[in-house]
Structure 1
């Protein structure tokens, strides 16, 4: 059963260093993490377990090169549902596999979604599937000058 966090977990310097090391490579052996932070392997295992239980570490992920998978085009799409269509648009975005991430926002544009496609034609087809229910504003991603990273610890 997943424990809910009732308060903010305070991190010490070792927790922060562990998170930074895991962010770089979550597959590092416990022995290597222990060496990096100057603790024993059992101590590091216990700290990681506590970080998971507190909800700070939710999962260990893989960094995939989407271009190598055949998705050379990434785009960010602002989505403004038509009146009364917000729940339908949210469901459509969830069901369209080309949307790999989506944020629900305040303001006129209710959603900000990250899309991956194989071609401009595929992008047009995906956006066309929303046209009866929402207005979209699309910007193609050129580069990623800031990769996903940890917040200041």
Structure 2
């Protein structure tokens, strides 16, 4: 298993700032050629570190409504239902689940219909209550600098370090903390394939 090095982290940081930045520009910043950066990005994608490239739309430019933060107190067992419903709703930009099992989300809603919009989202769900806060200003600066990256074992969920294993099984890349986890995973995978 190849660990992420300083150059990988720099590349991730530059891509987090601008996912459309040319590899040649990134290469100049990190001391590599454009094709070398491309190879590293491909490896990071295959390893599952980079899942997708997205855009960050400034919704204020689109006049998409007023920004609100909604805090929803939930009864046990409602978290997944609410998270999925909120995540798929128009205008919702970020969804958070707290350690207490509540769902908070940041969204833009029509000013005159905020209460009815939230009530519609939460209809037929066991909700203990919710609070809507109007947001005056938002600064969203996701950062990867200074963070420790860790891959998790596909078998046991432990952190994969330099002693770990990586395997491509039927076209998908999996990471394992040790050879025995890889063996167990492959054995179970093959059994499931044979039973299908």
TM norm structure 1: 0.77
Q: Unaligned regions of 5+ residues in structure 2, if any?
A: 148-196
Alignment of 1:42-61 (within 5 A): 42-61=35-54
Q: How many residues align?
A: 144
- Give the match for residue 142 of structure 1: 136
- Give the match for residue 12 of structure 1: 5
Range moving further from structure 2, 50-59 or 138-147: 138-147
Q: Which of 104, 115, 118 is residue 107 of structure 2 equivalent to? A: 115
Does the 8 Å CA contact 2:67/2:107 hold for their aligned counterparts?
yes
Residue 137 of structure 2 aligns to a residue whose secondary structure is: coil
Residue 107 of structure 2 aligns to a residue whose secondary structure is: strand
How far has the Cα of 1:98 moved from its partner? Answer: 2.8
- Larger Rg: 1 or 2? 2
How far has the Cα of 1:21 moved from its partner? Answer: 1.3
Distance 2:16 2:78 in 1: 38
Instruction: String of CA shifts for 1:12-61, please: whole Å, max 9, x gaps.
Output: 11112111211221111111111111112221111101111122211111
Which is bigger in relative contact order (C-alpha 8 A, separation at least 6)? 1
Q: Give me the CA root mean square deviation.
A: 2.5
TM norm structure 2: 0.62
How far has the Cα of 1:85 moved from its partner? Answer: 4.7
CA 1:105–1:151: 2 relative to 1, 3 Å? farther
CA 1:151–1:140: 2 relative to 1, 3 Å? farther
Does the 8 Å CA contact 2:27/2:37 hold for their aligned counterparts?
yes
Alignment of 1:93-132 (within 5 A): 93-107=86-100, 110-119=102-111, 121-129=112-120, 130=122
Q: Unaligned regions of 5+ residues in structure 1, if any?
A: 1-6
